[in-house]
Structure 1
Amino acid sequence: MRPAVSFILITVMLDSMGIGLIVPVMPDLIQEIQGSDLGTAALWGGILSTTFAVMQFLFGPVIGGLSDRFGRRPVLLISLVVMALDYLVMAVAGSIALLMLGRIVGGITAATQSTANAYMADISRPEDRAANFGLVGAAFGLGFVLGPLLGGLLAEFGTRAPFYAAAALAALNAVFGYVVLRETVTDDIRRPFRWKRANPLGSFRQLGRLPGLGPLLIVFFLYQLAFMVYPAVWAYFGKERFGWEPATIGLSLALFGIMLAIVQGGLIRWVLRLLGERGTVVYGHLIDVAAFLAIAFVTSGTIALILTPIAALAAVITPALQGIMSKAVGPDAQGELQGALTSVTALAMILSPMMMTSAFAAFTDTNAAVYMPGAPFVLSAGLIVVGLVVFVAYPPRKTAPVEG
């Protein structure tokens, strides 16, 4: 594998790890800073997580647009340096305000996944993009597994240790990227940076004008909204339905993350060859509907653990959709497209937890007319069905590049 591709995959993995790395210590850290009880710490933890997602939503198109103008290399390297400094600030933070500032800056720098995907689009042939986007997804899944695991181990050295580790990893990767990363944005595809397009609404509006791309953005959003059911309610669902302890919940999430990496890093290439990009999207939706409904109604914890990695087989949807959409825009708009997709994902991260936890609370309340801890997964299955209907009803068409 080329060193530059390795750098891109490590960058995405660090984006994913950086979130999970600090999760194990956040309750204790917030209590340490605030001197509050666990309930208040959880409330502040939710606020910090939402702030992080909001920043990704707002700045995904900005970072993507900047990379279309100034190049992928400077945007990625500067973001990594700022990310390292941000973790150092959070490591010494003595107030909730400073932690909030850290999550604001962290959300902005983590939006570089759009630039990483744009780089992969730059160096890939159109027919290879979906598979290579799968490598990016695999790196994210690997970080999803390693982050909490490493964070839990480092927590033995204190609540600040994971932040120092995250800072060191980001700094080392910046040095690696400085050595191996070449620029892919040439003067032929470079375009001016415009604020009216470097915001989520402007970016969605511009891209939505391309025939067939608007419905694909809707499908992508619905899938992300449904997928977020796992981080939103899985821990609560496992405890309520099966009486799982934290260790079992962690194991189930690790199984899911490992299978996610296997599917997006390798299996997707076989599925794409067999079904094509469009058929892969349909297959992924059908698997997801079956998996969500099975999880919703299963009563055995053992069967649920078996279903967890099987559910990850649907993870081919994201890279296949990215591949289809990437072909619909010109080489000068890859950063803008990936920035818009980052914002769509972040918007789902903002909205889905509220939807899923509300459904869980409503159907597990002592006064609920129907007791159904799996209700959020039924809701997710419904969202996937709607997405599949939209995808089938509005087949993607070859489009002209976005105008500058």
Structure 2
Amino acid sequence: MMSIFTKHRFLLASLLVTLFMSTDARKIRSSGLTSRHQHHHLHHIKSNALFSDLYKLRGGEVDIDSTTTAAATHYQRTISTLHSTSFLIVLSTSIVAFTPLPSITRHLAASLSSSSTSSPQEQAVKILSLISAASAAVELFLSPLLGTLLDRFGRKRPSVLLHSLITLTNLGVVMYPSVHTICISRIINVLCSGFLIITTQSIIGDLFSGNQKDNNNGHGKDQMGAVLGRQAALISSGFLFGSLLGGRLTEYGERIAYSVAAIFSALAALNAAFRMTDTLDLTSSSSSSSVAAADESKALDWTSLKKALLEAPLSSIQLLFHYGSHMRTLALLLLLQSAPMYMGDVFQVFAKEEWGLKPTDFGKIVALFGVLGIVSNTTLSLIVKQMGLRTFSLFAIVSSLFFPMTAIFTNNYRNVLIAGSIGLYSGAQKVGTTTAITSLANERGIPQGQLQGEKASMLALLKIGCPVIYSALYLKGKEWSMSMNDTEGNKLALQMIMGKFGKKMPFVLNCILGVIAFIVTWQNM
């Protein structure tokens, strides 16, 4: 019986996730729009292209029941499609997330001469590190440009294109496995995944904000936070199941792993192509002048695109300096909360050298935190409803401090895992900040595509800088710790302090960032 369960656990897991998405869709469908929002929704219907023909046919009289039902149907279908597409594409990219290193190592071992000064694995690590740095730099430049394209051409077509690119590069590895095709697939997977995050957040911003200047449309900040939580839960599920499945498939060769990844990415592309509604059209005005302006704006303006590309480095700091003090504060808060996510390989090196963990043990830690992410984001909507978004944000930040503080004061990794389990809501701390930024941008009239592009460009700075900062802290702290062994007796106290905390400076930095984030959230949200 256990062998049957083990054999089919990935299928069972996928069915559970599908059931979760179906339940979510039923909740949205059944909730509809409450009567206290019908008057406001009537005004929205009159200006919505989706219902303009119905409004004209009725001579200005709108059937609130039928139109609100249609709006709720489009809303729940878009949300469920977004959730399922995100799960499929994260599942696809996670299957091949850890495949490039052993695959490239194997190909290099077959081609490198015996006189080479470095091993195939060292060469593979250098190649993948270069790819990561180059991908972050490209994301820094192209994210604002993508935001401009999303606002110009809508959300659906770029989404389908990005999913299709991932599928094609995966198929390239299947047809011709080599170092070059694996590297190309890695680059496209990393870049398109980042760009799809921009597209996804633009869609959610459209659904909950649209062109409204207030939050009285029945989809307020708390509900946006709940949807972001469900989205994060599905992403965590896709990453967990994809990583486990990819580890098994890689044992049979990269062709098998990339074939399965291509199937899931193709399903995601088809799902986006045939089920997704373009939310930019859904929230656009129906007046003839607005439609004409929208059509004119969709004409490809190479001058504007060239300008957006040249100004891309400056776009990474737009949120900090261009939209006022409140937006600057929220952007700084997002940076504070995001920085610990970009430690790079420092945590893995620390776990190996200080805790003596083998790769299989470290993989179990990754799986554990994947499960915790699923649990926390699945229950997020209920907790946000009870606590409110501000209180939950403070609670999540406090939760994020358990892991680094325990890592500082203990050398037992099991205690650290227990602390991380207690602080399971740490991964959801950015939900409140992201919601606040989206709502503020809507009030300021900032297009959602532009906002998400500038935000991704800003976070790309962290992807470039944080691994360098964290690795420098670890190496310098390790050097301090070793040098303290040679100090004289009158420096015994300093020796004890640096001997205990020197190698743990990255976790000290995370604690400092968490405390600052708590203060900023308390004063500004």
Q: Same fold (TM over 0.5)?
A: yes
Which of 389, 403, 418 is residue 306 of structure 1 equivalent to?
A: 418
1:316-347 Cα distance to aligned partner (Å, 9 max, x none): 22111111111112276122222233233333
- Determine the C-alpha separation between the residues in 1 that align with 2:152 and 2:97: 35
CA distance in 2, matches of 1:207, 1:374: 30
Tell which structure's C-alpha radius of gyration is larger. 2
Give the structure 2 partner of residue 245 of structure 1: 358
Q: How does 1:1-400 map to 2 (within 5 A)?
A: 1=25, 2-35=76-109, 36-92=119-175, 96-110=179-193, 111-124=195-208, 125-127=219-221, 128-186=223-281, 187-188=284-285, 194-195=304-305, 196=307, 199=312, 201-202=314-315, 204-205=317-318, 208-211=321-324, 212-229=326-343, 232-266=345-379, 268-330=380-442, 333-365=447-479, 367-369=482-484, 370-371=498-499, 372=501, 373-393=503-523, 395=524
Cα offset for 1:137? 1.7
CA deviation string 1:167-198 (max 9, x = no partner): 22111111122221112112439666844456
- Calculate percent identity across the aligned residue pairs: 21
Unaligned runs of at least 5 residues, structure 1: 397-404
One-letter amino acid of the counterpart of residue 343, structure 1: S
Distance 1:146 1:50 in 2: 27
After superposition, the Cα gap between the structure-2 partners of 1:358 and 1:169, relative to the gap in structure 1 and judged at 3 Å, is same
Q: Which amino acid in 2 is paired with 1:142?
A: S
Counterpart contact for 1:81–1:171, Cα < 8 Å: yes
Q: Distance in 2 between matches of 1:117 and 1:351?
A: 24
Whole-angstrom distance in 2 between the partners of 1:281 and 1:197: 34
Moved more, 273-282 or 74-83: 273-282
Matched residue type, 2:449 = G
- In the aligned structure 2, how far is the partner of 1:37 from the partner of 1:171? 33
Q: Report what 1:402 is aligned to.
A: none
Which gives a bigger RCO, structure 1 or 2 (Cα 8 Å, sep 6+)?
Answer: 1
The whole-number CA distance in structure 2 between the counterparts of 1:318 and 1:202 is 21
Deviates more, 1:28-37 or 1:166-175: 28-37
Matches of 1:337 and 1:96, distance apart in 2? 36
Q: Report the aligned-residue RMSD.
A: 2.7
- Normalising by structure 1, we get a TM-score of 0.87
CA separation of 1:91/1:220 partners in 2, compared to 1, >3 Å: closer, same or farther? farther
TM-score (norm 2): 0.68
- In the alignment of these two chains, the number of paired residues is 393
Residues 204 and 62 of structure 1: CA distance in aligned 2, closer, same or farther (over 3 Å):
same
Q: Partners in 2 of 1:271 and 1:347 — Cα distance?
A: 32
Q: Deviations over 1:366-398 (max 9, x none)?
A: 7343344432111111122233344445x25xx
Q: Distance in 2 between matches of 1:10 and 1:232?
A: 30
Task: From the superposition, tell whether residues 9 and 320 of structure 1 become closer, same or farther in structure 2 (CA, over 3 Å).
Answer: same
Which letter maps to 1:367? M
| 1:115 CA displacement | 0.9
- Return the alpha-carbon distance in structure 2 between the equivalents of residues 103 and 55 of structure 1: 14
Q: Judging changes above 3 Å, is the alpha-carbon distance between structure 1 residues 19 and 352 closer, same or farther for their aligned structure 2 residues? A: farther
Contact persistence 1:360–1:375 (CA under 8 A): yes
C-alpha deviation, 1:246, in angstroms: 1.9
Name the amino acid aligned to 2:456: T
Equivalent pair of 1:226/1:380 in contact (CA under 8 Å): yes
CA distance in 1: counterparts of 2:91 and 2:458, whole angstroms: 20
359 and 5 in structure 1: CA distance in 2 versus 1, 3 angstrom threshold: same
CA distance in 2, matches of 1:322, 1:289: 20
Q: Aligned with 2:279: secondary structure?
A: coil
The letter for the 2-side match of 1:284 is A
Contact 1:91-1:163 within 8 A present in 2 as well: yes
Mind listing any 5+ residue stretches in structure 2 that lack a counterpart?
1-24, 26-75, 110-118, 209-218, 485-497
Using the TM superposition, give the Cα deviation of residue 45 of structure 1 relative to its aligned residue in structure 2, in angstroms: 1.8
What is the alpha-carbon distance in structure 2 between the residues aligned to residue 233 and residue 19 of structure 1? 23
Distance in structure 2 (CA, Å) of the matches to 1:12 and 1:172: 11
Q: How far 1:213 sits from its partner (Å)?
A: 0.7
CA–CA distance in structure 2, aligned partners of residues 151 and 300 of structure 1: 29
> Which is worse superposed, 92-101 or 246-255?
92-101
1:224 CA drift (Å): 1.0
